[in-house]
Structure 1
Amino acid sequence: MNELQITELNGQRVLTTQQIADGYGAKTRTIVDNFNNNRNRFEEGKHFILLEGEYLRVFKRENENFGFAQNINKLYLWTEKGALLHAKSLGTDEAWDMYDILVDTYFKVQEEKQVPLTLDQQIAAIATGYGSVKDELVEVKDRVSDLEENAPLSAGEYNYIGSRINQRVAEVARGYGKITREQRGKLFKDINQGVKVVTGVSTRTQLRAKHFDTVVDFTNNWEPSTATKMQLRQMSFDFEA
């Protein structure tokens, strides 16, 4: 269990299908079949996160040590509740034993990091006599506001940004007629670089709640840079030649 590689997406610990299979003593095909046979019980964003398209490529690039196959076009990542559903569905002693270990170690570490005092608890602590209640209350509110702004994006927000970027690139690409995969890659590189500039993050998985509106607004209004446009035109000339 100590050798289980930590997988995180947007600040949330998750497990790959392979990790679920290895831990539960099953084949990956069994986990896939278990999901398909009980599809109505699994809720996206609650039990699993589905990565596709450019979002998947970014995740694979940032987690190269997992050795994901280059040709996969979708990736399921399972949350703690998703791991529980698989344990229930499989019903084996090995699956239940491993689930207990996951809860006590793998997922519990994350919970311990993310359990700040509630606002009422912090106010109650202040009221016991530590300094000026008014000043302390303002400080608590500021801290709560900071926590909210720096909270990880929800799975829905994370997936929406990826989908909107894909849509915007497709909209711009249509203006160039038929383009090659390499040219489309130039567009993705341009828009992703823009996201990094306007948010100040180095990778998309570092985006936080405070960045959501900024990224959406930027994506909606994005146009490729002059340099990228010139590259696209030159690549078109080379292709036609």
Structure 2
Amino acid sequence: MFDELEENYFNPKQQIKIPTSNRELILLALEGNEETNQRIDKIDERLVDIEENKLITSEDKGTIDRAVRKKVYQICKEQHLGQNAKGMLYQDLGSSIKQLFNVPNRGRIKDKDFRKALNFINSWEPSSVTKERINQIQTELEM
């Protein structure tokens, strides 16, 4: 047991070679630098991915929700529409947002698309199907 301890402790089989020349020191530094650069590249890729897929904040979702309510209210006021029409407009606009941004709900919009979503809402017009349904309801109410 003592012989084995002496052999492995005092004379390890793998001795670390310490660089002695300037060339060896430079090669060691370059090797360490390359490893560091590879790790930084991986971190950069992960950060870009995180930034690209970051979702809007709850405050931003609130802003989008207010913009949706404002747009629906504006259309209802301009065209003197009732509650039935309001529901259809909410459904149409919500569906359009989900479809355009490929999300299950407004809270899943990506942060990079926040301004685009607001611009879309502000310029949105109801679909021709929704307009026709609203016209049918209005016609029925007038009868």
User: 1:199–1:214: 8 Å Cα contact kept in structure 2?
Assistant: no
TM-score by length of 1: 0.42
C-alpha distance after superposition, 1:17-62 (max 9, x if no partner)? xxxxxxxxxxxxxxxxxxxxxxxxxxxxxxxxxxxxxxxxxxxxxx
What RMSD, in angstroms, separates the aligned Cα atoms of the two structures? Answer: 2.1
CA–CA separation in structure 2 for the residues paired with 1:151 and 1:190: 26
Whether the 8 Å contact between 2:52 and 2:112 is mirrored in structure 1 is yes
C-alpha deviation, 1:128, in angstroms: 6.4
Whole-Å separation in 2 of the counterparts to 1:209 and 1:153 = 4
Answer yes or no: is the 8 Å Cα contact 1:198–1:214 preserved in 2.
no
Structure 2: distance between partners of 1:187 and 1:137: 49
Q: Where does the alignment leave 5 or more consecutive residues of structure 2 unmatched?
A: 1-31
Q: State the Cα deviation string for residues 52-86 of structure 1 (Å, max 9, x = none).
A: xxxxxxxxxxxxxxxxxxxxxxxxxxxxxxxxxxx
Flag the structure with larger Rg: 2
Work out which of the residue numbers 64, 71, 77 in structure 2 matches 1:168: 71
Letter paired with 2:43? V
More strand by share: 1
Aligned partners of 1:180 and 1:239: how far apart in 2? 10
Q: Which residue of 2 aligns with 1:216?
A: 118
How far apart in 1 are the matches of 2:86 and 2:131? 11
Q: Contact 2:58–2:107 (CA<8 Å) still a contact in 1?
A: no
Tell me what 1:201 maps to: 103
Partner of 1:238: 140
- 1:71-127 per-residue CA deviation (whole Å, 9 max, x = no partner) reads xxxxxxxxxxxxxxxxxxxxxxxxxxxxxxxxxxxxxxxxxxxxxxxxxxxxxxxx6
Gaps of 5+ in 1: 1-126
TM-score for the superposition, normalised by structure 2: 0.69
> Does the C-alpha gap of structure 1 residues 142 and 216 become closer, same or farther in structure 2, counting only changes over 3 Å?
farther
Structure 2 residue corresponding to 1:150, chosen from 40, 50, 53 = 53
What one-letter code is carried by the residue in structure 1 that aligns with 2:134?
A: L
Between the two structures, name the one with larger relative contact order (CA 8 Å, sep ≥ 6): 2
**1:141-193 deviations in Å (ceiling 9; x for gaps):** 2321221232232222111010011101111222211x221110000011001
Distance in 1 (CA, whole Å) between partners of 2:62 and 2:82 is 25
- For residues 215 and 175 of structure 1, the distance between their equivalents in structure 2, rounded to whole angstroms, comes to 23
User: Across the two proteins, how many residue pairs are aligned to each other?
Assistant: 112
Identity of aligned residues (%): 22
